[in-house]
């Protein structure tokens, strides 16, 4: 069984594991130094490494590593996953300017050890001072089933996502330390949405018109008119909110079925409402007919799971109100995501599909009326 350090390592050139910038830095020597420092490799050494790109990350590069060893490697991992900054310059600059790379690194350094479940364990996590470079080295959660944003998911998968969201949110529910962490700059993210979404909307419509349903743009324009008011309604209670809690960032039946769901890509997280994550997941991941039929029962499942883990000061009425309100977050992520990432064919199909699904959800839940009447 592989041993994991209590805290992920940080870069230490003197110990042979400096901060690396891309896949070329994942050498046998670097990996040997990291795994020895992490206490999982004693007398053996990594002698070979093969790399395979995985996932559909738009702001990061993800690689699966297969390792070969010489000497005693008992307890050392045969496979790892590395994550680094995006190769595309536009996406890399967006990730750096929004502190996404630093935020995900610090999440694994400081907060993930307090959550434990629902996350991959990290061997190494560090970033450069300017935030343009970072490296995360994780356990490989395979065999597992990757979520697919375009295909959507089953109601059974949505139930797993509700339970896992509660397990991720409960340990840091209303934690007083969260607002004091100077590296979490929520105001920058809020300003990005408030400024970019209304200004970019005409270009978004022009670029995506052939992929959008007519009512989607009507909802988007209505939301753009009240987006500033929406952000005044982000009331407590807050927790660690992933903010991009969707299928492309999830692995189901991870560790060969030992873990129902593992959640990846924490670069967008901020302190925020937990109900935002689950509303966003259901709006993005379920096909509209399934969502309409099961949405309220799924939200109740999340609320009940929170209560089972000790969250006692959050009523069902407040949870359902927050859920309906934060259906709007899907438009933040999908429209602004189009503006700040390098265009790809799959990316455009995914983001336009999300806009269509989230707009339908907002109509069904009366989200715009809820914002306007507040």
pLDDT at 168: 98
CA 318 to chain centroid = 24
Q: Is residue 342 predicted with pLDDT exceeding 90?
A: no
First CA to last CA across the chain, in angstroms? 53
Same domain, 266 and 198: yes
Q: How far apart are CA 374 and CA 232, in angstroms?
A: 10
Same domain, 133 and 246: no
Same domain, 213 and 72: no
Tallying the residues shown for the chain, one arrives at 374
pLDDT at 4: 57
Final residue before a domain boundary, out of 114, 139, 164 = 139
Query: Does residue 8 lie in a domain region?
Result: no
Both tokens assigned to 186: 């929520």
Q: What is the pTM of this model?
A: 0.93
| Nearest residue to 119 (alpha-carbon basis) of 318, 292, 276, 260 | 260
Q: What does the mean pLDDT of the chain come to?
A: 93
Query: Does residue 283 lie in a domain region?
Result: yes
CA 10 to chain centroid = 22
Q: Is residue 288 predicted with pLDDT exceeding 90?
A: yes
Burial label for 113, CB within 10 Å (0-12, 13-18, 19+), is middle
Query: Does residue 1 lie in a domain region?
Result: no
pLDDT at 93: 81
Q: Is residue 59 predicted with pLDDT exceeding 80?
A: no
| Nearest residue to 118 (alpha-carbon basis) of 183, 79, 158, 168 | 168
Residue span of the structural domain in which 134 resides: 13-139
Same domain, 153 and 241: yes
Query: Does residue 69 lie in a domain region?
Result: yes
Q: What is the CA radius of gyration of the chain?
A: 21
pLDDT at 58: 66
% of the chain residues with pLDDT over 90: 77
Q: Is residue 92 predicted with pLDDT exceeding 90?
A: no
* Domain CATH for 56: 3.30.200.20
Element at 337 (helix H, strand E): helix 329-340
User: Which residues, in sequence order, are CB contacts of 169 under 8 Å at separation 6+?
Assistant: 239, 240, 241, 274, 277, 306, 311
The better pLDDT of the pair 303, 338 is held by: 303
Q: How far apart are CA 43 and CA 202, in angstroms?
A: 60
* Domain CATH for 362: 3.90.1200.10
Q: Is residue 1 predicted with pLDDT exceeding 60?
A: no
Same domain, 155 and 134: no
User: Which residues, in sequence order, are CB contacts of 130 under 8 Å at separation 6+?
Assistant: 96
Query: Does residue 6 lie in a domain region?
Result: no
Same domain, 353 and 319: yes
pLDDT at 6: 67
Same domain, 171 and 278: yes
pLDDT at 96: 83
**Contact (Cβ atoms closer than 8 angstroms) between residue 51 and residue 63:** yes
Final residue before a domain boundary, out of 139, 161, 177 = 139
**Contact (Cβ atoms closer than 8 angstroms) between residue 240 and residue 115:** yes
For residues 319-348, average pLDDT: 93
3-state secondary structure of 136: strand
Structural domains in the chain (count): 2
Query: Does residue 335 lie in a domain region?
Result: yes
DSSP type of residue 276: H
pLDDT tens digits along 186-208: 888 899 999 999 999 999 999 99
pLDDT tens digits along 2-57: 555 667 878 888 777 899 989 999 999 999 999 998 888 988 999 999 999 987 66
Final residue before a domain boundary, out of 139, 163, 192 = 139
Same domain, 111 and 218: no
Query: Does residue 4 lie in a domain region?
Result: no
Same domain, 192 and 321: yes
CA angle, corner 161, sides to 159 and 166, nearest 5? 100
pLDDT tens digits along 18-32: 999 899 999 999 999
Q: Is residue 140 predicted with pLDDT exceeding 70?
A: yes
Q: How far apart are CA 275 and CA 81, in angstroms?
A: 30
Same domain, 135 and 162: no
Q: How many CA atoms lie within 13 A of 337 on its CB side?
A: 22
Same domain, 131 and 150: no
pLDDT at 176: 93
């Amino acid at each position: 069984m592989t041993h994991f350090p209590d805290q992920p390592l940080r870069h230490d050139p003197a110990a042979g594991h400096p901060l690396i910038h891309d896949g070329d830095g994942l050498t046998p020597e670097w990996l040997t130094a990291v795994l020895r420092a992490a206490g999982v490799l004693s007398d053996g050494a990594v002698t070979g490494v093969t790399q395979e790109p995985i996932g559909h990350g738009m702001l990061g590069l993800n690689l699966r590593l297969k390792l070969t060893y010489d000497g005693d490697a008992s307890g050392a991992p045969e496979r790892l996953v590395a994550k680094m900054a995006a190769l595309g310059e536009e996406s890399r600059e967006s990730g750096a300017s929004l502190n996404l790379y630093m935020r995900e690194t610090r999440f694994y350094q400081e907060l993930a050890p307090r959550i434990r479940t629902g996350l991959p364990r990290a061997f190494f996590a560090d970033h450069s001072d300017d935030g343009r470079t970072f490296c995360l080295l994780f356990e490989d959660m395979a065999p597992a089933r990757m979520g697919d944003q375009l295909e959507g998911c089953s109601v059974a998968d949505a139930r797993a996502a509700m339970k896992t969201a509660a397990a991720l949110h409960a340990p840091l529910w209303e934690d007083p330390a969260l607002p004091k962490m100077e590296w979490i700059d929520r105001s920058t993210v809020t300003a990005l949405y408030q400024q970019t979404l209304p200004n970019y909307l005409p270009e978004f419509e022009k670029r995506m018109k052939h992929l959008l349903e007519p009512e989607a743009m009507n909802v988007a324009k209505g939301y753009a008119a009240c987006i500033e008011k929406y952000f005044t309604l982000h009331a407590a209670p807050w927790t660690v909110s992933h903010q991009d809690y969707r299928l492309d960032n999830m692995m189901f039946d991870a560790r060969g079925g030992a873990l129902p769901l593992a959640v990846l890509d924490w670069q967008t997280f901020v302190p925020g409402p937990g109900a935002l994550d689950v509303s966003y997941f259901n709006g993005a991941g379920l096909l509209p007919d399934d969502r309409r039929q099961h949405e309220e029962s799924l939200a109740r499942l999340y609320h009940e799971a929170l209560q089972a883990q000790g969250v006692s000061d959050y009523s069902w009425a407040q949870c359902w109100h927050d859920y309906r309100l934060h259906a709007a977050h899907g438009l933040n992520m999908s429209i602004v995501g189009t503006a700040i990432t390098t265009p790809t064919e799959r990316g455009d199909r995914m983001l336009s599909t999300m806009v269509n699904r989230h707009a339908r959800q907002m109509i069904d839940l009366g989200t715009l009326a809820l914002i306007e009447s507040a």
